[in-house]
């Protein structure tokens, strides 16, 4: 058994693949570009991951659950609702600031017919839907319907995720540089809780 190199090659490849797939999606990514970024011969990608699909899946299997976890972390604590929402935006936007390509990666992956991914949702642990049902039941006191809840959840995600998808467009319209945009997102952590909390029906 050979001792692994200082920087495990397999992981270097995965990291490079993550980088490239996140930015360009499956169709836009090139095996050669991934190899170059990993500083490694192209044949090594196949040696470790067999083919492009499998390499992509390796990336997807670590990124998708991370995103789901971020999307559902709001249901994991027992804080008062207002605190929960506030915490959610703070944490979620921070996560997106440091992983700003993930939303595009997820959206573009699911847009293409990369199925067998509904599969991953069911296997997700914790299951988003289970968490959401539980949360919903707890809110029954205020007579919130399932549809109200879905709308609320859609709002939550829309407000936090969309600005990272539309950054190229928005930054251009308003002539914002990266720093401007960063500070816009920073302020958003405070603005969004206020906005969303107002929208909740008082019990």
C-alpha count within 13 angstroms, C-beta hemisphere, residue 31: 15
Long-range pairs for 164-172: beta carbons < 8 A, 24 or more residues apart: 164/96, 164/100, 164/103, 164/104, 165/103, 165/104, 165/107, 167/100
Q: Taking CB under 7 A as the rule, does residue 30 contact DNA?
A: yes
CB 23 within 8 A of CB 45: no
Smaller CB separation from DNA, 105 or 164: 105
DSSP output for 78-100? -S-HHHHHHHHHHHHHHHHHHST
For the chain, first and last CA: distance in Å? 65
Q: Taking CB under 7 A as the rule, does residue 108 contact DNA?
A: no
Q: Taking CB under 7 A as the rule, does residue 6 contact DNA?
A: no
Smaller CB separation from a copy of itself, 43 or 107: 107
Stretch that binds DNA, among 29-37, 69-77, 102-110, 163-171 (CB under 7 A): 29-37
43 binds, among DNA, a copy of itself, none (CB under 5 to 8 A by kind): DNA
Q: Taking CB under 7 A as the rule, does residue 15 contact DNA?
A: no
Q: Under rule CB under 7 A, how many of the chain's residues touch DNA?
A: 21
CB 58 to a copy of itself: min, Å? 20
Q: Taking CB under 7 A as the rule, does residue 47 contact DNA?
A: yes
CB 195 to a copy of itself: min, Å? 4
């Amino acid at each position: 058994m050979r001792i692994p190199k200082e920087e495990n090659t397999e992981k270097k490849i995965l990291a490079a693949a993550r980088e490239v797939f996140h930015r360009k999606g499956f169709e836009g990514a090139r095996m050669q570009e991934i190899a170059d970024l990993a500083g490694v011969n192209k044949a090594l990608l196949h040696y470790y991951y067999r083919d492009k699909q499998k390499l992509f899946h390796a990336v997807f299997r670590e990124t998708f659950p991370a995103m789901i976890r971020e999307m559902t972390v709001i249901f994991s604590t027992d804080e008062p609702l207002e605190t929960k929402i506030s915490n959610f935006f703070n944490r979620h936007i921070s996560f997106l600031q440091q992983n700003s390509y993930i939303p595009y990666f997820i959206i573009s992956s699911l847009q293409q017919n990369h199925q067998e991914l509904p599969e991953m949702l069911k296997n997700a642990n914790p299951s988003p839907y289970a968490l959401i049902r539980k949360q919903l039941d707890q809110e029954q006191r205020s007579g919130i319907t399932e549809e109200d809840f879905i709308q609320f959840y859609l709002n939550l995600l829309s407000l936090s995720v969309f600005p990272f998808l539309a950054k190229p467009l928005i930054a251009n319209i308003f002539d914002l540089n990266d720093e401007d945009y960063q500070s816009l997102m920073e302020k958003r952590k405070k603005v969004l809780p206020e906005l969303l909390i107002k929208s909740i029906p008082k019990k």
